[in-house]
Structure formats: structure tokens, C-alpha cells
Structure 1
Amino acid sequence: MIPTARRAAPGAEALPAGTGYAPCHHGEILQGVFLDAEGRRCAGLVTLPLAGPGSHAEFVRRPGTAPGTLTAVPPDRTKAARAAALAVAHCAREAGLPASGGELTLTGDIPVGLGMGSSTSDVIATVRAVADSYRLTLGPEVIARLAVRAESACDPLMLDGRPVLFAQREGRVLEVLGPALPRLVVVGCALGGGAPVDTLAQPLGEASDADVRDFERLRALLRRAVATGDAGLLGQVATASARRGQRTLRHPEFDALTGLARRTGAVGVQIAHSGAVAGVLFDPAVPGWRHRVRGCLRALDAHGIPATHTFTTTTSEILHGPAHRGGRRPTGSDTCRRPARLPAL
């Protein structure tokens, strides 16, 4: 059992400022409707980790002020502001201190609207910063619960990076699939010219019994891929999930992307199910993969699909293109703060 919180040394409560960080991801490998341990249907997803971009938060408590007097910079981060208020209430109870107002400052370099978990990253960084200001460390279950309350659904960015099937609307792990994903080389790209996607406007749809059976089959295949380190099998699952997502997202480049993946010897493609970020997946155990990656980059360029960067799933190594550029994200709406900065995310 992971402890809910830990207290720092006596007297640390006099320091009201705290900081927090959370990473992003590169869209989903699998997303759908699955059965939990009790046989109940749950929306769930498995994300593709990405080292580099992230959200940084600083929270300065103002003891003696009303709990509702919270300010956020930039002021548009409404989900993060809700998370700060929820975290203040929780942490004040844990620390045995009165709840108070404070000032939240967010900085980061995650492109918004591409399906990389930018809002969840903001929310988790905020919760961690608030907890740090109270000299507490919250467990991932508590962070997930607060994140779902703040934004209705969240990605599993509060966890340790192991591949999990995560119920994003409930903030809980349905299954730990294994210790690590198979090693892949991912050629990242942005569909639709990198235009942001309003994730809240995406229709949910109702899964049929046949849909659930299909999702459970893909879940079993992904479990096997992780257990055996089978990059090819993971690629099949990711492509099948991306194809199902295409029914809703209708990316005009989808056929071109899957076609060039086949021609260049990729094991599959993955596409964010609530955005435009995508990846062409290669098995680095196959001889000549570097040549295949170069061919993929040329093919993406020929089809007018902007390449972003190439990275591996098992290390933070970026093989082509910078992972991110520093700086504060500009202001704007929660879903459209800025378009993707291309060719590098």
C-alpha cells in the first residue's frame, strides 16, 4: 500500500511555497472499453511514454487568506486552478492546518490539442506543487482521484511509467501489463498540420458487446507483447486501436500514414485518440532499422506530414529532432493554447 502522504520535519510548515512537475505522453497505444475485475465496463487506455516535455508548477500559499482566493498564471488554466483548490482542501486536512488561498504559476512546453496529456500534466504538477507547499507527498492514487475531480478524466501521468491499462474517467489502474514496453523506435509526426483538436468535443459513442470483446482481445495481445518483448505484436495492437479511432477522428492522412508504414518496414502506427500526434513504430532488433527510419522520414515529407522527433520507448534517447523547447506556454483556452510548434514538439 502506498502511503497517502508523509509529513516533513516539524517546523517545515512555515515554508508556504511548493513546486511540482509532471511529464506528458505521445498519445495512446490502446484505448477502448474494457472489463474490470468485477466484470464492469470501464473506459480505459494505455499511453505511450515520452521523455522531455512536461509541466512545471509553483504554488505559493498565503496563510490567513480565504481558501477561495486562488490565482493562476496564466489565468486560463482553469482545470489546474480547480485542481489547486481541491488539493489545498485535501492537504490542509492532512497537515492539520487551516486551508488558505495562494498563487499558482505554470510553465511548460507541451503542445496543446495534440492528445499528449497537456491538461493532465498541468493538473498533476499543480497537485504536487500544492502538496509540496504543505510539505506533503501524495500517493498516485490520491493524485489520480483529485485529477479526475478537476478535469473529469485524466491520463496515468502520476504513475511510475510502467505500462498500465488505466481507467481515465475513474482514475484507477485496471491492470499493470508488465514492467516495461518492448523496445521501439518511434518516428513522431503531427496529423492535420498539427492543428489542435478540441478533445471535449469528441463524441463518446456506446460500445457494443462485440466492441468490448474486440477491446479485450487487443488487451490480451498487448499483455502478451509486453510479457514477451514482442515489438511486432505491440505494433499490431496499436494499429488496430488507431484504425478504430479513425472512425471518429477521420484524419485525412490515415491511409497515407499506414501505407508508408508498411512500405518502410514499420511494425505499426499509433495515433492519439483525442488529438493529432502520431507515431510510426519500428523494431530496433530488425537489421537496417536506421535505414528504414530515414526512409520513413522521407516518406512523411513527401506526403506533407510534418515529422516531429524520433525517440525510443525504453530510454530518454532522442534519435532525431529535439524532444522539446523550453519556455512558458502562451495563454489561450484550455484546449487551444497554441498550435504545435513544428517540426519539433
Structure 2
Amino acid sequence: MTAAAHRGATPPATHPAAPDAEPGAAVDSGRHLTGTGHAPCHHGELLQGVFLDADGRRCAGLVTLPLAGPGSRAEFTRRPGTPPEALAVVPADRGKAARAAALAVTECARRTGLPPSGGRLRLTGDVPVGLGMGSSTSDVIAAVRAVADSYGLRLAPEAVARLSVRAERASDPLMLDTRPALFAQREGRILEVLGPALPPLAVVGCLLGGGAPVDTLALPVRETTDADVREYARLRTLLRRAIATGDVRLLGQVATASARRGQHVLKHREFGDLVAIARRSGAVGVQIAHSGAVAGVLFDPAAPGDPRQRLRACRHALDAHGIPTTRTFTTIPSLTTKECLDGPAHRRGDRPARPDTSRRPSRLPSL
């Protein structure tokens, strides 16, 4: 992939050093230089498991469900002449973003030939934490992009991925373009681009476990068997076929099978109800965040009948079973949910966290 796939990036500011400058070729101006960056979030996974790479080596991988709207924004003010460890972060609890900024400073200084320096990183955003929507990765990528922008650089997705994995050990593929890709989250590399775009989906979002955050480090580690790897390979093949042919029903079957396997560890008590409601509502399947509480009921918006009626019936059934609904959205880039499915948008009372506060593990805004 090239820098043109740098999704969500802002145009680089004008700075004294060129991106390809050799060490010693540039001199910092001494002025405070500010850069900005943005990164989206996602709505959990369509597929997650252990897959074989091109060399036949096992590695963890996932395919996320993109979600337009929420995201993280970062502003980095570089202070030439200060030591690189003099790096302040607001809010102060964003440790992963702070590590990412420090790594990005080192990388960008190396690329430009400028000395690494400290600065101030300010993060804002509206991605709830603990739900499996990539809130920490969104912070990390926004921070890396803001630091790069302050140096007049635009880093390629591969470089952003490497820095993100170093900052948080495992990273969601939010630095990539919108093509569905099987991504090795612990290595920061693409295992396979599965196609040009996901087929059109309508998704009724909801929260399992009452929306309580999931401590992924506390989850039991399940050994991956040869049979598991064969099953993940089968699901990978089916997902590739579903994307290539636009087969929404097959995609839903893959996502449901992956979500069901995830219950070996997550053990959501409402999962059986979620699958049953999806079936009764005419959905093609369900998807979950394998590291959080967010889930989605997947619909084919082109199926015969009134899609609005199916979505309403699904939301009512989820509410009746005590499964909080969050937002309804689509994977159709050119249309909003309001335009094609669900009438006027409305929001419940949740407000995003202020820049000076930690994000809250709250319910998402509802459409």
C-alpha cells in the first residue's frame, strides 16, 4: 500500500525539512510546530482467529467491520530544543498514545535528520473504551499521524502499523484504507486483501454483558489446535468468496461462525438470544467484538421486503431481551442510514468525554 491509502490523514504542514532528508541535512527552526492527526474506530470483527501466512506460519489475524463517524483526533505541538522525554499528554491516562508519540518522534527525527524533541500531545475523541471498538488503537494512530505532521511527514500505513504494534503490542487495522483485509494484529502486517469492498450491509449495533468493559488480558488463553487452523482457513476462504461475489448471506454465516467460536473465551450469556433474534428478524447473521462487548446484527438491505420494518423488529426484540441497542449503520459509503433505511437520525443522551477526561465505557450514540 502507498501513502495515498493514509486514511483520515490531514495535509502535512510546511516545515523546513523534506521527508527524505538525510541525517544532518536539516536544522530545526526553534519554533513550536503543530501537527494534527485523525483515526477512525471499528465495530468489532467479522472474522478473527489464527491463520497461515504466505510462508505457512501461524499468526493471529482479524477482519474488522468499519464504522464511520466516531474517532480520535490528536494535536502534537513539537518544541525543538527540548529533550524527547519531555512529552506531555492530555488526558494524562493515555499511556499507549504517549508511547506511540515517543516512538513517532524518534522515527520522524531519523527520517528528517532533525534532532528528536519533546512536545505536547492533546487527544480528543468519542470512541467509548472497553467495548472492542479499537479506542486505544485510534488514539495511537492519531498520535502517530499528528507527530508525523509536525515534522512535515505523512507516514505510509505500513510504517504507522509498525509503530502502533510497538506502542500497544496488538493493533487494529485502522491505519489501512477501507478495503477488507485480513490483518495480523500482533505483527502489524496484512495477510491478505480480501477484495475491493465489503458488500452492502445494514447493522443494528448492541451491547452484550450490559456494556461492561472486557479486560482482554484477564481472558483465558485457549490453545489453538490444527483443527482450529483448518476451520479458520475454511472461514477465510468463504469470506473471500462472499466479498468477491457480494454474497451478504454467506458473509453473515462467516461472521456468525467466528462469533460463535469467540464464545469459547468470552462466554456472553446473551449470545444465544442474539443469534435467535437475528434469525427471527430476517438477518443474515451476527458479529461481535472479540475483545469487547459491542455486537451487531447483520442485514442485507437489498433483501425483499421493507428493511426498516426488519430493523425496527430487531431493535424491539433486543430491547425486550435486555440487550441495549446502540446505533444502526450501513457499509454503503455513498448513503447514510437515515437516507436509505431508517428515517430521521436521533441521539440518546450520551455525550463524548471531554478532552481533559478519560473516555467513559458508556453506550454509543444511537441512530
| Fold shared by both chains (TM-score > 0.5) | yes
Amino acid at match of 2:199: P
TM-score, scaled to structure 1: 0.94
Q: Which moved more, 1:7-16 or 1:214-223?
A: 7-16
Map of 2:272 onto structure 1: 255
- Structure 1 97/192 Cα, relative in aligned 2: closer, same or farther at 3 Å? same
Q: Secondary structure at the match of 2:46?
A: strand
Distance apart, 1:290 and its partner CA: 1.9
Answering whether residue 317 of structure 2 is matched by residue 306 of structure 1, we say: no
- Structure 1 257/111 Cα, relative in aligned 2: closer, same or farther at 3 Å? same
Amino acid at match of 1:293: L
Map of 1:165 onto structure 2: 182
Answering whether residue 16 of structure 2 is matched by residue 11 of structure 1, we say: yes
Distance apart, 1:330 and its partner CA: 6.2
Mapping of 1:261-340 within 5 angstroms? 261-288=278-305, 289-315=307-333, 317-319=336-338, 328=354, 331-332=357-358, 337-340=359-362
| RMSD across aligned positions (CA) | 2.2
List gaps (5 residues or longer) in structure 2: 18-27
**In the alignment, is the contact (CA less than 8 A) between 2:157 and 2:176 conserved in 1?**
yes
- Structure 1 278/70 Cα, relative in aligned 2: closer, same or farther at 3 Å? same
Q: Deviations 1:249-278 (Å, cap 9, x if unpaired)? A: 111110110001111110000011000000
Alpha-carbon distance in 2 for matches of 1:282, 1:175: 25
Alpha-carbon distance in 2 for matches of 1:7, 1:119: 23
Map of 2:21 onto structure 1: none
Distance apart, 1:344 and its partner CA: 3.1
Answering whether residue 207 of structure 2 is matched by residue 190 of structure 1, we say: yes
Map of 1:179 onto structure 2: 196
Map of 2:146 onto structure 1: 129
**In the alignment, is the contact (CA less than 8 A) between 2:13 and 2:35 conserved in 1?**
no
Query: For 1:110, which of 120, 127, 130 is the aligned residue?
Result: 127
Distance apart, 1:2 and its partner CA: 2.8
**In the alignment, is the contact (CA less than 8 A) between 1:111 and 1:341 conserved in 2?**
yes
- Structure 1 187/330 Cα, relative in aligned 2: closer, same or farther at 3 Å? farther
Alpha-carbon distance in 1 for matches of 2:346, 2:143: 26
- Structure 1 20/275 Cα, relative in aligned 2: closer, same or farther at 3 Å? same
- Structure 1 284/80 Cα, relative in aligned 2: closer, same or farther at 3 Å? same
- Structure 1 75/322 Cα, relative in aligned 2: closer, same or farther at 3 Å? farther
Distance apart, 1:203 and its partner CA: 3.0
Q: How many pairs align?
A: 341
**In the alignment, is the contact (CA less than 8 A) between 2:124 and 2:355 conserved in 1?**
yes
**In the alignment, is the contact (CA less than 8 A) between 2:36 and 2:75 conserved in 1?**
yes
Distance apart, 1:24 and its partner CA: 0.0
Distance apart, 1:204 and its partner CA: 3.4
Answering whether residue 232 of structure 2 is matched by residue 215 of structure 1, we say: yes
**In the alignment, is the contact (CA less than 8 A) between 2:76 and 2:120 conserved in 1?**
yes
**In the alignment, is the contact (CA less than 8 A) between 1:7 and 1:95 conserved in 2?**
no
Q: Secondary structure at the match of 1:160?
A: coil
Among the aligned pairs, what percent are the same residue? 71
Alpha-carbon distance in 2 for matches of 1:60, 1:122: 16
Distance apart, 1:197 and its partner CA: 1.2
Alpha-carbon distance in 2 for matches of 1:2, 1:222: 25
Q: Deviations 1:298-324 (Å, cap 9, x if unpaired)? A: 101110111111111122623455589
Distance apart, 1:201 and its partner CA: 2.2
- Structure 1 291/344 Cα, relative in aligned 2: closer, same or farther at 3 Å? closer
Query: For 2:247, which of 230, 249, 270 is the aligned residue?
Result: 230
Map of 2:20 onto structure 1: none
- Structure 1 173/186 Cα, relative in aligned 2: closer, same or farther at 3 Å? same
Mapping of 1:2-41 within 5 angstroms? 2=2, 11=16, 14=29, 16-41=33-58
List gaps (5 residues or longer) in structure 1: none
Q: Deviations 1:131-190 (Å, cap 9, x if unpaired)? A: 000010000000000000000000000001110000000000000000000111000011
Alpha-carbon distance in 2 for matches of 1:74, 1:327: 11
**In the alignment, is the contact (CA less than 8 A) between 2:273 and 2:321 conserved in 1?**
yes
Mapping of 1:45-64 within 5 angstroms? 45-64=62-81
Query: For 1:140, which of 157, 163, 169 is the aligned residue?
Result: 157
Amino acid at match of 1:87: A
